[in-house]
Chain A
């Protein structure tokens, strides 16, 4: 089925380790986003991309890097994981920047940093 696929779904990291979360979409969407969800906080934007080769910072970018070398993929990297990065990470994509075309969300990645 068409949509947004996130890998992995679960991961446990030790403090200081690095990892990359992959988001892949097959809908030819221009816009892609990474959010984190913490209890009682809703979803907060980490980084986003408005097209292949472009990225920009969101509300909570510190400790994360991103890349969008291909239109269909948006990678989120943690260079040196910290316990504060324990969270559920959601990737989303959209065709347009506004309007009711809506957003497609991945199923999330639950990351625990110990």
Chain B
């Protein structure tokens, strides 16, 4: 069965430091996409970054990068130079060939940035 696992319920990071949020996935499909979303306390879902299963390069978007290790089925999010505004819930999600667009979400990691 397709599954997303986020093993860190909560994380703390010092402002201006880098932090890695873990995500592992399970799918038998060869074609799939991996997403990271940020959910601040206001509740909206904010798209951060996407990685396709056939993409050879790790995705980057500004301070966000996705450390994609296909053989290990991991798609960790790296946030560089953390800011106070990065404090939020972060969700890893996946769609795959047979999902008809449906996203499967992990349970999330709550990141707190300390000043």
Contacts and interface: CB of A to CB of B under 8 A. Distances in A.
Interface string A83-114: 00000101010101111101101011000000
Given A41-B107, A100-B33, A48 B100 contact: yes
Nearest to B107: A42
B52 A48 contact: no
A93 B79 CA distance: 27
Given A88-B43, A102-B50, A103-B47, A97 B106 contact: no
A96 B97 CA distance: 12
Contacts, number: 63
B43 A107 contact: yes
Contacts of A43: 91, 93, 103, 105
Interface string B25-65: 00000010101000000011101001010000000000000
Contact of A108 (B35, B43, B95, B102): B43
Contact of A42 (B33, B35, B96, B108): B108
A88 B44 CA distance: 11
A31 interface: yes
Interface residues of B, number: 26
Which of B43, B96, B104 has the largest count of A CB atoms less than 10 A from its CB? B43
Interface of A is mostly: strand
B95 A102 contact: no
A33 interface: yes
Contact of B101 (A48, A88, A107): A48
A99 B52 contact: yes
Given A88-B43, A99-B33, A100-B33, A42 B105 contact: yes
Contact of B47 (A33, A56, A102): A102
Contacts of B9: 40
Contact of B33 (A92, A98, A107): A98
A88 B52 CA distance: 29
B101 A105 contact: no
A103 to B, nearest CB: 6
A108 B44 contact: yes
Residue in B35, B93, B107 with the greatest tally of chain A CB atoms within 10 Å: B107
Interface string A19-58: 0000000000001010100001111110010100000101
